[in-house]
Structure 1
Amino acid sequence: MNEPLKFRKKPEVVEAVQVLPENVELLRNWMPQGASIHIKGNEDLWIEWRTILGPTRVPSGDWVLRSESGFFETMKPLPFEARYERDVSVAQLTHVEQFGEDNE
């Protein structure tokens, strides 16, 4: 071999929830067992849970990701937006996104 081989990162689909006050109930049901959600006032929100590397603390605005294998990780908003785009498979689209405005 005369030069390095080139590799492309495999496509990856993750579940992700941004730590925001409006997502607290979703986070409670979705986070790993033992995770705790802390709220002080209207906007001060963070999540904590223990990993094999020690405690993890995720402040409001950051993203929590769960891989297909169930591994949780965290990511700041700018790297998240640079690396991921929404998976718009039909299974995840809302009724309005699939069929237009609800004109009942």
Structure 2
Amino acid sequence: MTTSTNSLVLEIVRTLEKEGVPRDTYQLGREIDPEALARLLESADSAIEVRLEVQGVSLAVTNSGVWVTDDPPSSPPECPRCGRDVTAVIQLVPTHRTAYPCGCPVEGESLE
């Protein structure tokens, strides 16, 4: 991990600890991809804010820091094809989107 990734991970962990979430109750690498998040923040041309949830705590992450938001934890959307919870939509080309982890194709803005 790079220095910026390490700093970001440490800041997220400290923020979660302040909210009473013990370190041994989650694996941050399974919740988010810290290296991808750090690269996204570093490469943004303008101010970018990434919202994420870890153990039911809603966080906002920017180049300026990490803080808890007042947003209530959300339930993941369901795949319109199989009904499983969708944690991400992967788009490799503009015309093809895939729900993760089920792998079903997603058309248009059906999960937005």
TM-score (normalizing by structure 1): 0.23
Higher helix share: 2
Higher relative contact order structure (alpha carbons within 8 Å, sequence separation ≥ 6): 1
Larger radius of gyration: 1
Higher strand share: 1
TM-score (normalizing by structure 2): 0.22
